[in-house]
């Protein structure tokens, strides 16, 4: 019987970290001698001389196990190479060989979406992947939930480590479960570095930052502990028993109150049916006719469904805990079941994706992140690093707008602002990647995120020519009526997204603190000038500041989007989504309702008559285009306007500070026309003449404007005609 045991990550095909001492450990019989032999072989097929000390047996070590049978070896630093290593552990007659080991860089992926999305649910761009590069990447990915089949999370963690192994591209079945972002990041890094990249893929959908913290790190921080107790997120050992053990046992044995009620209601059921039910099912909830097999406790993504929603709710209420807690978000579960098993594993860096649930913890997030970094430094080795360039880095993913809470749409924005502040204040190499420009449900999205993560990782560790983060505004200067902004991580310069010709998404305010959409221009690829003709003394500026930043398409040459921001947190009236006012885009990316995915939606619609709306790029007053209306009237009217019913526009739009509306029109017909706008007083005459005219109407009544519908009603006595419309503005 072979009693020698090694941790799961120490297995065939593994990648270990270059240029740092690597600790290898395991268990054997107490007070026994254990030897380690390291063999290195070339993989390019060349013959090696027996006198070549770089190959063959390059290291032999010997140690003794302690009273618990634990042994430890520390390897010297090795450089990255495509050559193969073999680790041979021997203890008496027992021997374990770890084959096909490579030396390169090791990265860890933690957190929630999108890092947890597997390859099986995504796709890569059509560009062919290089075979030589694919051979360099390896992945270690335990079960998503960290649980064995039919296992439940426990207070103290797993009784034994889960059995996993390293996978490479030939292991297609295993590879399909690997994170698509992890695969893409590894591939693009290996393609640039030409040596092995190993990814430890631990992310789980729905896992909050609390779940990745150790109990010690939480309980040692008294302020953090107090906040979690106030929010009913702290779980004692008794709470764990109620949530996962005692309550479930009651249900399965039929001794809980709910189970007793169900048994009473089932007295009329024929005995054969009850016998069948008791032998194979667990009740879903009281009074529910559906039945659930034990295998249903594990969903397709590996997340645990410990007990029914009703049973969980009862247990939580009884122990004064939050009712909306999910198993994968509970404090310490991911640390116990996924992180702790990697003790002393040397790594290059960590990628962390906060969960949308974390936005409820924004005010303590710096404290939580500090605790997380303490936990990570205690887990991942080495404990001593002579070369500061080898210190592991951290890359954070900003929370995507697609995960916002419709009831609290601004909550995730504050969390993203906090992540940016953490990047500036924490004394380590930290990058941050924005996701606000990736809203369409494309299957290549996760692959794109991995590619961008690789760019940031390369910029942090290897070359200043690559960005170390998404670009961020680092300086604001007010010159006369202009706001001049400077950005970092511009690489070869800032530019607009594909098919964009005008820089949008900026807003500025004057002393009244009312933000208005502003004009913007890129200067020399590194600065941006912003202004508004109606604001002579600007005091604040924002970019992409809103729940869904439709117009925030500004980026650097490495395709990393500029992070949305606001200049200060003074009480202000922020500009709602007024993307329709520019009249230069016919589509936006949004949702019709919260149950549907993001899609391309029309910006304008026709309410009366028939009207064909097109972009006109030559005849315009500002921006990249105007709207060209070709229409057929109905009762001498054609009515057009923006679609404000999409939930991601958050109508009604709060425009209370404004009392007027202005629009530019161009009338190419030899006929006079009139314009009225519902909710605004009077009418404006559109004169005959080949020139642009500015029409202004005042708001009716004294109540402020809350806009949920906007109709431009054009009166024309002719059956058909055409008009150009541009530059809609709301004025004080």
Q: Is the dihedral of CA 535, 539, 542, 545 positive or negative?
A: negative
Does one domain contain both 207 and 241? Answer: no
> Does one domain contain both 571 and 649?
no
Give the pLDDT of residue 161.
64
Identify whether 652 is preceded by a cis peptide bond (ω within 30 of 0).
yes
Residues 432 and 500 grouped into a single domain: no
pTM above 0.85, yes or no: yes
Structure tokens at 124: 């890569």
d(CA 411, CA 409): 6
pLDDT of 315: 60
Residue 225 forms part of a structural domain: no
- Does any domain span residue 226? no
Copy the structure tokens of residue 62: 């010997």
Q: Are 197 and 169 in contact (CB under 8 A)?
A: no
Q: How far apart are CA 669 and CA 690, in angstroms?
A: 8
Instruction: Kindly tell me the burial class for residue 199, based on how many C-beta atoms sit within 10 Å of its own C-beta (0-12, 13-18, 19 or more).
Output: buried
E-strand spans in 651-688?
653-655, 660-667, 673-677, 680-681, 684-686
CB 381 within 8 A of CB 344: yes
Note the pLDDT of residue 388: 67
H or E element at residue 84: strand 81-91
In a domain, 327, yes or no: no
Give the count of beta carbons closer than 10 Å to the beta carbon of residue 660: 15
Buried b (16+ CB within 10 A) or exposed e, 85-114: bbbbbbbeeeebebebbbbbbbbbbbbbbb
Q: Are residues 384 and 449 in the same domain?
A: yes
The domain boundary, picked from 320, 354, 384, lies at 320
In 3-state terms, the chain is what percent helix, strand and coil (to 5)? 25, 30, 45
Within this chain, do residues 628 and 556 fall inside the same structural domain, yes or no?
no
Q: What 3-state class would DSSP assign to 583?
A: coil
Cα 204 to Cα 459: distance, rounded to the nearest angstrom: 27
Q: Which of 541, 575, 609 is the last residue of a domain?
A: 575
Interaxial angle between packed helices 365-379 and 411-425, expressed in degrees from 0 to 180 and rounded to the nearest 10: 50
Counting every residue written for the chain, the total comes to: 732
Across the chain, which has 732 residues, the per-10-residue mean pLDDT values are 81 93 92 94 73 83 93 93 95 90 96 94 88 95 83 76 83 91 97 96 94 93 90 82 52 37 40 36 31 36 42 60 76 91 92 94 94 92 66 94 90 94 89 94 93 96 90 93 94 83 91 92 91 92 92 89 93 92 93 94 96 95 93 96 95 92 95 94 93 95 90 96 95 88
pLDDT score, position 511: 93
Compute φ and ψ for 234, nearest 5 degrees. Answer: -85, 135
Alpha-carbon distance 249 to 242, whole Å?
10
**For 192-229, how does the pLDDT look when each residue is reduced to its tens digit (9 = 90+)?**
999 999 999 999 999 999 999 999 999 999 999 999 88
Range of the domain at 528: 473-575
**Quick one: 604 and 684 in the same domain?**
yes
Q: Are residues 98 and 203 in the same domain?
A: yes
Do 253 and 401 have their domain in common?
A: no
DSSP 8-state code for residue 336: I
pLDDT for res 262: 37
**Distance in angstroms between the alpha carbons of the first and the last residue of the chain:** 85
Does residue 627 form part of some domain?
yes
- Residue 272, Cβ density class (10 Å: 0-12 exposed, 13-18 middle, ≥19 buried): exposed
Tell the burial category of 538 from Cβ atoms under 10 Å away from its Cβ (0-12, 13-18, 19+): buried
Q: Is the bond leading into 114 cis (omega within 30 degrees of zero)?
A: yes
Both 710 and 633 in a single domain? Answer: yes
User: Tokens for 154?
Assistant: 């426990």
Domain with residue 686: its CATH number is 2.60.120.260
Two tokens, residue 485: 């902004």
- Supply the pLDDT for residue 478: 92
In angstroms, rounded to a whole number, what is the distance separating the alpha carbons of residues 253 and 276? 15
**How far, in Å, CA of 33 to CA of 126, rounded?**
54
356 token code pair: 């949308």
Biggest CA-to-CA distance, the chain: 103
Q: Is residue 466 part of a domain?
A: no
713 and 611 co-located in one domain: yes
pLDDT at 23: 92
Give CA angle at 293 (290, 295), nearest 5°. 140
With contact defined as beta carbons under 8 Å apart, do 44 and 69 qualify? Answer: no
Structure tokens at 693: 């005219």
601 and 558 inside one domain:
no
Q: Cβ distance 581 to 517 under 8 Å?
A: yes
Q: Answer yes or no: do 55 and 124 share one domain.
A: yes
Q: CA 662 to CA 728: how far, in whole Å?
A: 6
Residue 387: other Cβ atoms inside 10 A: 9
Rounded distance, CA 214 to CA 220, Å? 10
Of 108, 16, 20, give the one whose Cα is nearest residue 349: 108
Residue 60, pLDDT score: 95
- Residue 484 DSSP SS3: strand
Q: Helix count (H) and strand count (E) of the chain? A: 14, 40
**Residue (of 252, 228, 125, 138) closest to 187 by Cα position:** 138
* Pair 595, 555: CB distance under 8 Å: no
Is 222 domain-assigned?
A: no
Question: Could you say which of 275, 292, 320 is where a domain stops?
Answer: 320
Instruction: Confirm if 560 and 433 have CB atoms less than 8 A apart.
Output: yes
Between CA 109 and CA 116, with CA 115 as vertex, the angle to 5 degrees is 105
Residue 685 sits at φ, ψ, to 5 deg, of -90, 130
Q: What is the DSSP secondary structure assignment for residue 298, as one 8-state letter?
A: B
Question: For the chain, what is the domain count?
Answer: 4
Residue 264: Cβ-neighbour burial (10 angstroms; 0-12, 13-18, 19+): exposed
Decide if 7 is inside a domain.
no
Q: Burial, 541: exposed, middle or buried (Cβ in 10 Å; 0-12, 13-18, 19+)? A: buried
Whether residue 218 is contained in a domain is answered as: no
Tell me if 731 sits within 8 A of 722, measured CB to CB.
no
CA distance 84 to 88: 13
């Amino acid at each position: 019987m072979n009693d020698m045991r090694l941790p799961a990550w120490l297995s065939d095909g593994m990648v270990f970290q270059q240029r740092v001492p690597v600790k290898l450990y395991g268990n054997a019989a107490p007070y026994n001698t254990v030897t380690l032999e390291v063999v290195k072989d070339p993989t390019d097929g060349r013959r090696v001389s027996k006198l070549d000390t770089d190959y063959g047996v390059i290291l032999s070590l010997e140690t003794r196990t302690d009273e618990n049978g634990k042994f430890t070896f520390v390897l010297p630093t090795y450089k990255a190479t495509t050559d193969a290593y073999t680790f041979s552990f021997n203890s008496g007659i027992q021997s374990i060989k770890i084959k096909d080991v490579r030396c390169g860089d090791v990265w860890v992926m933690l957190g929630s979406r999108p890092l947890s999305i597997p390859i099986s649910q995504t796709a890569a761009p059509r560009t062919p992947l290089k075979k030589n590069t694919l051979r360099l990447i390896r992945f270690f990915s335990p079960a998503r939930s960290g649980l064995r089949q039919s296992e439940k999370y426990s207070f103290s963690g797993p009784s034994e480590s889960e059995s996993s192994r390293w996978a490479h591209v030939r292991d297609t079945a295993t590879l399909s479960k690997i994170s698509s972002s992890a695969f893409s990041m590894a591939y693009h890094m290996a393609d640039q570095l030409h040596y092995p990249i190993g990814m430890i893929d631990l992310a789980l959908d729905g896992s909050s930052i609390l779940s990745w913290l150790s109990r010690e790190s939480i309980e040692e921080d008294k302020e953090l502990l107090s906040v979690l107790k106030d929010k009913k997120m702290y779980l004692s050992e008794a709470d764990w028993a109620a949530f996962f053990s005692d309550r479930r046992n009651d249900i399965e044995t039929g001794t809980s109150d709910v189970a007793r009620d169900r048994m009473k209601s089932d007295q009329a059921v024929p005995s054969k049916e009850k016998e069948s039910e008791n032998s194979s099912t667990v009740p879903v909830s009281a009074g529910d006719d559906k039945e659930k097999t034990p295998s249903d406790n594990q969903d397709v993504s590996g997340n645990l469904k410990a007990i029914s929603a009703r049973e969980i709710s009862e247990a939580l209420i009884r122990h004064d805990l939050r009712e909306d807690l999910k198993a994968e978000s509970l404090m310490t579960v991911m640390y116990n079941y996924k992180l702790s098993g990697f003790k002393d594993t040397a790594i290059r860096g960590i990628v962390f994706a906060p969960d949308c649930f974390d936005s409820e913890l924004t005010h303590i997030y710096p404290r939580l992140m500090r605790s997380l970094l303490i936990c990570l430094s205690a887990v991942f080795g080495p404990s001593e690093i002579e070369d500061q360039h080898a210190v592991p880095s951290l890359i954070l993913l900003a929370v995507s707008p697609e995960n916002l809470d419709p009831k609290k749409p601004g909550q995730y924005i504050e969390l993203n602002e906090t992540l940016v502040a953490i990047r500036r204040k924490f004394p380590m190499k930290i990058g941050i990647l924005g996701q606000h420009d990736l809203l369409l449900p494309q299957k290549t999205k996760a692959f794109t995120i991995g590619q961008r993560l690789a760019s940031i990782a390369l910029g942090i560790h290897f070359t200043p020519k690559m960005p170390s983060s998404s670009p961020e505004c680092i300086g604001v200067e007010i010159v006369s009526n202009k706001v001049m902004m400077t950005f970092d991580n511009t690489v070869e310069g800032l530019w607009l997204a594909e098919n964009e010709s005008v820089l949008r998404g900026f807003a500025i305010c004057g002393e009244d603190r009312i933000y208005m959409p502003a004009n913007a221009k890129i200067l020399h690829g590194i600065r941006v000038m912003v202004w508004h003709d109606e604001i002579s003394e600007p005091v604040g500026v924002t970019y992409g500041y809103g729940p869904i930043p439709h117009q925030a398409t500004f980026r650097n040459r490495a395709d990393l989007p500029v992070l949305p921001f606001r200049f200060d947190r003074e009480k202000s009236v922020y500009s709602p989504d007024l993307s329709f006012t520019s009249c230069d885009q016919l589509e936006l990316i949004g949702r019709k309702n919260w149950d549907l995915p993001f899609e391309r939606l029309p910006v304008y619609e026709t309410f009366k008559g028939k009207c064909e709306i097109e972009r006109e790029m030559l005849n315009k007053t500002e921006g990249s285009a105007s709207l060209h209306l070709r229409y057929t009237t109905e009762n001498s009217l054609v009515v057009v306007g923006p679609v404000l019913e999409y939930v991601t526009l958050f109508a009604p739009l709060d425009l209370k500070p404004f009392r007027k509306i202005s629009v530019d029109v161009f009338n190419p017909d030899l006929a006079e026309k009139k314009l009225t706008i519902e909710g605004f007083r009077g009418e404006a005459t559109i004169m005959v003449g080949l020139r642009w005219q500015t029409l202004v109407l005042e708001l009716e009544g004294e109540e402020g404007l809350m806009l949920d519908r906007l109709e431009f009603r054009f009166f024309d006595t002719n059956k058909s005609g055409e008009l150009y419309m541009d530059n809609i503005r709301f004025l004080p």
